[in-house]
Structure formats: C-alpha cells, structure tokens
Amino acid sequence: MINLLPPELKQSYHYAYRNVRLIRWVIAFGLSFIGLMVISVAGLIFMQQSTQTYAAQVTSEQNLLNQQKLSETQSDVQNISNNLKLAVQVLSQEVLFSKLLQQLASVTPSSAILTNLDLNPAQSGVTITAQTASYSAATQLQVNLADPANQIFTNADILSINCLSASEAAGSPTTAQYPCTTIIRALFAANNPYLFINSKGQ
C-alpha cells in the first residue's frame, strides 16, 4: 500500500500521535499523584484518629486509677513499710532479760553483786551498778563483762568506783561485805544472743 499523503500532512499525523501518547502519560502521572495524595491524607487522618483514641484511653485509665485511690494506697503501703522498719529497729534493741541476767550472774565474780541494770536503747547498751568487795573486784567484774567469749558486750567501761570507809560500811551486813559501789557502762555486741532480734535461731 502506497501512502500518497503529502509529507507535511504525514508529519502532522506523526506529531499528533506523539501528542496523544504524551497526553496519556501526563494523565496517568496525574492520576497516580492524586492517588498518592489521597493515600497520604487518609493515612494522616487515620494516625490522628488513632492518637486521639489512645489519648482518650490513657486519660480513662488514669481516671480509673485515681478513682481507685492509687496514691492513697501507695501512701498506706509506704506507711506500713516504715512501721515495719521501726518495729525491726525496736525489736533489735529489745533485751531478753531472763537470759541476760543468767549470763551476767555467771560472769559476775563472787566478790561482787549486781544491784541495778539501766537499759539505754538509744546507745544499745546498759549501765550496770554493782556492790564489790574492793577495787580489784570491780576491775575483775569489768574484765569479765568485756570478755568477747561471754558474747554479751563489745566493751565495758568503769564510770566510777566509790568505796565506803570501814566505819561507814559497818551499818549494814551487805555494805560491810561489799563496801564499794561500782558503775559500769557496757555496749551490747551486735550478734549477742540476748537481743530479741538475734534469738530466733535459738
């Protein structure tokens, strides 16, 4: 088949065909761009709605927790914890006097008698008052109390020793035999078995 159309007309048809193809590509690109924009806008709207939904859920949960008085519960738990710590601290300073007195009696020399015990919880110690036959008896009592083998005290210090004269001590059989008043301050050993907190394993 022979194309007898003039060259100018054939060139016009050629360009028209190319223009149609170009227009199709422009239309396809425009539709794709519009589709992407629609998807992007829809995604942003969905994300915004999801954010608002989660924010509403968080607010609702916070309100629910507030209604359940969570802060008051936490405060009560803290108070209980503090009370337990205080109880442990108090028990750690409670002395089992029945056992302590037995042990003190066993370490007290025959030349001394115990007359008073003054417990000092703040210092975890005790002030011991004893009647002794002499200065040396008072010293021996202090040495016995401070002996680590007895498991009572970490140390024991003599605060004072006051001895009566023979005439002054003659008025009473006890003072006649034990004319010296000895005061000793001793600190409990941390692991001694005569504190309540250490007695559970016995």
C-alpha span between 141 and 108 (Å, rounded): 6
Please give the residue range of the domain that contains residue 53: 1-68
Does the pLDDT of residue 47 top 90, yes or no? no
Looking only at the bridges linking them, the beta strands covering 180-188 and 125-132 are antiparallel
C-alpha span between 36 and 41 (Å, rounded): 9
C-alpha span between 189 and 12 (Å, rounded): 115
Is residue 164, in this structure, part of any structural domain at all?
yes
Predicted pLDDT at 137: 92
Counted domains in the chain: 2
C-alpha span between 60 and 126 (Å, rounded): 59
| Co-location of 119 and 64 in the same domain | no
| Co-location of 183 and 148 in the same domain | yes
| Co-location of 174 and 121 in the same domain | yes
| Co-location of 184 and 118 in the same domain | yes
Q: What is the pTM of this model?
A: 0.49
Does the pLDDT of residue 176 top 90, yes or no? no
Exposure string of 144-178, with b = 16+ CB inside 10 Å and e = fewer, is bbbeeeeebbeebeeeebebbeeeebeeeeeeeeb
Question: Averaging pLDDT over each range in 80-84, 149-153, 176-180, which range is the top one?
Answer: 176-180
Does the pLDDT of residue 1 top 70, yes or no? no
| Co-location of 64 and 108 in the same domain | no
pLDDT digits (tens, 9 = 90+) for 86-109: 444 444 445 556 677 778 888 889
Higher-confidence residue of 169 and 70: namely 169
Among 23-27, 73-77, 111-115, 154-158, the range scoring the smallest mean pLDDT is 73-77
| Co-location of 99 and 194 in the same domain | yes
Higher-confidence residue of 77 and 138: namely 138
